[in-house]
Chains A and B, each alone.
Chain A
């Protein structure tokens, strides 16, 4: 078994198996109902529930969900993004240059406070260092920090100030770089850049690649950088994304029943693969056996030392008990597959595209 130091730094000391399939989550997790209620109270001007009270509620929720991730057995945990409302809004509120003018339609009566970039974007106060420090103090496990990527922060805003969205994305990438430096100073070792916007405009993969170069500039190689992409036609970004300066690609594949798996078999997948092994759009907990089969799909693409196990995407829209059940079964399945690998019971040929059915 060859070593993968970047990934192995997260291997628990008491890990039972020789093989190590790192288990983690993409980020978001269902908020406890009382946290939403606390937010309503905080926003209600007639109520005495003040900012300190709401902060305490968010701290409690972050601690609770971090511990829930521990309880599920995840090797690397997140606070479930308890302090974040929406993946663009949260950051846009913290970056100079953004302003909000009101909700816009996405579909039907689903709206989004799409911000406008009205002047040069600037780094003001830290976005996530406090969040990271709090989570890290609440657990002994390694903590991953998800950050919405600059391409998505640019694409899902009105651009009033920059020549084009690429220029805006690069400017934002420099700010993300600054934030990561601060996170690393605070002790973070695992950063995940979320770029869901790439799925809708795959032809822009070069912009995302260039933005990532800005992001990782002067960041220590030991710091693990992942890229999460979901819901798209992967054949339009692969193999080009292999050139991106990241350690890991976190991909949604369970939802499409691994139909797109073959895309990643040729040419050889040279990065680590964080494979989506549970579907976040199905509110039923997959069985351990089912998830084991899904994990083995990943072994058709990469060897065990390059495989990471994770849900397809953030699980925040699932009922909380279902989200927990999926995490728990996912970890059990990963440990079972590791044991099977240790015993040499798994024989999977890598890189061979599955023949078509017809």
Chain B
């Protein structure tokens, strides 16, 4: 019988009070962004905000609890932006959004950081729920960064995979790991690159016993990219059904799927709050389109990160996902 798990890809909006407090504490300029060695007051504000978003997830009834990545000023580029071997330069556009991050330029060997592991340790202390880690996938992280150390695209991707593997290895016990890979859609890997991306993902996934979900978004993967991704030893691929239904369905029908699947059915970039029943119905519709097999686990999630939303709408989206998963369980039983 299929298990329905409500979760999110993390990268939450800061609570409004934290937006104000951290603006005052940190400032508004490029050099004011998170450095990885922030002082006491800033750390305390983030801790309070973290506790709040953990509470929001618990109250909503989500089946997985994420840290919220509230410190990730540079969004998915964060793990590099705070790394000692990286210099951050100008402000560059974050994919096709009206959002910007500091360009991380890798200038030395990417050793162990532990920044994300520390966040997860702190989260584990605040909740008894099932913990979910969130990281950029290796392909997206290398795509968001600039390399001045390794000199070669394949080598750089390998170094990023090594780095992420080391980070995952230091994680506390987690139930699930989400690797976010929007670049697989937005900057389609070329021949050879697609295979290397899959191998890099496989390497990072192998560093944990937790279930690994790879979530591309802002559309569907190209066929070949999807086929290669299925070669990686991962538990689930995520599908952005908000941005594209037809091509995602085609991929699954044509190439099959992992035993578990993540369905991005709530829009992480629009304030229109979906009905839980509608999410449940869409879940059934996707399952119905595939017909043949039953998934072991279906993760119900927003398609993208949720930092694009006003805080109140983000909270509503989480509640909807939790309720939709409950409804799906009932219907399936």
Contacts and interface: CB of A to CB of B under 8 A. Distances in A.
Interface of A: 101-111, 114, 116, 156, 158-160, 200-201
B188 interface: no
B19 A109 contact: yes
A108 B33 contact: yes
A158 B27 CA distance: 27
A105 B101 CA distance: 11
A201 B97 CA distance: 10
A106 B98 contact: yes
A118 to B, nearest CB: 8
Contacts of B28: 108-110
B23 A160 contact: no
Given A109-B19, A109-B28, A159-B270, A104 B310 contact: yes
Contacts of B13: 104-105
A278 B301 CA distance: 48
A96 B14 CA distance: 29
Contacts of B310: 101-104, 114
29 contacts: A101-B271, A102-B16, A103-B310, A104-B13, A105-B19, A105-B99, A105-B308, A106-B98, A106-B99, A107-B73, A107-B91, A107-B94, A107-B99, A108-B30, A108-B32, A108-B33, A109-B23, A109-B73, A111-B23, A114-B310, A116-B271, A116-B272, A158-B269, A158-B270, A158-B272, A160-B272, A200-B96, A200-B98, A201-B96
A104 B309 contact: yes
Contacts of B210: none
Interface residues of B, number: 33
A282 B128 CA distance: 53
Select the residue from B14, B16, B309 with max chain A CB neighbours within 10 A.
Answer: B309
Contact of A160 (B33, B101, B271, B311): B271
Contacts of B282: none
B244 interface: no
Given A108-B32, A109-B32, A158-B271, A101 B312 contact: yes
A104 B308 contact: yes
A114 B271 CA distance: 10
Contacts of A158: 269-272
B100 interface: yes
Contacts of B73: 107-109
Contacts of A114: 310
Given A101-B312, A109-B32, 14 more contacts: A102-B16, A102-B311, A102-B312, A102-B313, A103-B16, A105-B14, A105-B307, A107-B94, A108-B33, A109-B27, A158-B271, A160-B271, A160-B272, A200-B96
A103 B19 contact: yes
Sorted nearest first, the 3 A-B pairs with minimum C-beta distance are A102-B310, A107-B100, A160-B272
Interface in B15-55: 16, 19, 22-23, 26-30, 32-33
A104 to B, nearest CB: 6
A158 B99 CA distance: 14
Contacts of A200: 93, 96, 98
A103 B17 CA distance: 11
Contacts of A103: 16, 19, 310
B56 to A, nearest CB: 14
Contacts of B32: 108-109
A88 to B, nearest CB: 11
A220 B270 CA distance: 39
Nearest to A161: B272
A101 B271 CA distance: 8
Contacts of B29: 108
Interface in B114-139: none
A160 B309 CA distance: 13
A109 B22 contact: yes
Contacts of B309: 104
A110 B23 CA distance: 8
A27 B181 CA distance: 41
A200 B28 CA distance: 22
A101 B16 CA distance: 11
Q: Which one of A106, A158, A200 has the greatest number of beta carbons of chain B within 10 Å?
A: A158
Given A108-B28, A109-B26, A109-B28, A156 B16 contact: no
Given A158-B270, A160-B271, A200-B93, A107 B19 contact: no
A160 B16 contact: no
Nearest to B34: A108
A109 B308 CA distance: 13
Interface in B264-298: 269-272
A158 B271 CA distance: 6
A111 B271 contact: no
